[in-house]
Amino acid sequence: MNTDPTKSNPDIYKVIFENERVRVLEYKDKPGQKTTPHNHPDSVMYTLSEFDRKLILEDKEITVHKTAGEVSWLDAQKHIGENIGSTDTHVVFVELKEPSPKTP
Amino acid sequence: MNTDPTKSNPDIYKVIFENERVRVLEYKDKPGQKTTPHNHPDSVMYTLSEFDRKLILEDKEITVHKTAGEVSWLDAQKHIGENIGSTDTHVVFVELKEPSPKTP
């Protein structure tokens, strides 16, 4: 299964910019929507809406509440995301294409 | 002169996130405001407002019109920016800390 989110969930993950160093994704969903398992490289996330979300990672499950205008860092990871609130999720991801310098 | 924009123009450039791979800046100005010369590393810019801007680079001067929700790439550069429109500028920059792989 392809776990690039633009391939696994192309209805909600769109590439809005790409060059040799970064890829920028826009993510939009509705309450109740749930992704399939997908991978993110090291990424910056910037929120454009307020939302509630469950993230099912390989070893744990977490819930997050975000408001618009928040910046978060995602270490490279595989997860399933689910909109568990009553508002749309709208987020931009800046994915770093180069491997982390701390990766052996 | 310090050309880190958070040092040269701390009233309009704020660090909103930083780790070992990236620094994220929020930029906000008003019509008529003009920066001093400052440097950007390779960066992704995401616009949160519509604005008109003059950029004075070392070898040329350009004007740009942006709407909210646009992504741009900035190759590392030094410039002066000036809000030449009638609306506030509101932008987020994701600065890449690692040197470009194409830099010799």
Q: Which of A24, A98, A100 sits opposite B44 (nearest CB)?
A: A24
* Pairs of CB atoms within 8 A across A/B: 51
Enumerate residue ranges in chain A where pLDDT < 70.
103-104
Task: State yes or no: ipTM above 0.85.
Answer: yes
The pLDDT assigned to A11 comes to 95
Residue B101 falls inside a structural domain: no
The tally of domains found in chain B comes to 1
Say whether pLDDT at B101 is over 90. no
Say whether pLDDT at B13 is over 90. yes
pLDDT in tens, B42-51: 999 999 999 9
Residues 64-103 of A with CB under 8 A from B: 71-73, 92, 94, 96, 98, 100-102
Residue A29 falls inside a structural domain: yes
Q: What is the pTM of this model?
A: 0.95
CA B25/CA A42 separation, integer angstroms:
18
Range of the domain at B83: 5-96
**Residue B102 confidence class, pLDDT cut points 50, 70, 90:** confident
The pLDDT assigned to B104 comes to 60
CA A50/CA B25 separation, integer angstroms:
20
Q: What b/e readout covers A72-101, taking b as 16+ CB neighbours within 10 angstroms?
A: eeeeeeebebbbebeeebbbbbbbbebeee
In whole angstroms, what separates CA B99 from the centre of its chain? 18
The pLDDT assigned to B45 comes to 98
Residue B16 falls inside a structural domain: yes
The pLDDT assigned to A103 comes to 67
Residue A101 falls inside a structural domain: no
Instruction: CATH number of the domain at B23, please.
Output: 2.60.120.10
Burial of B10 (0-12, 13-18, 19+ CB in 10 A): exposed
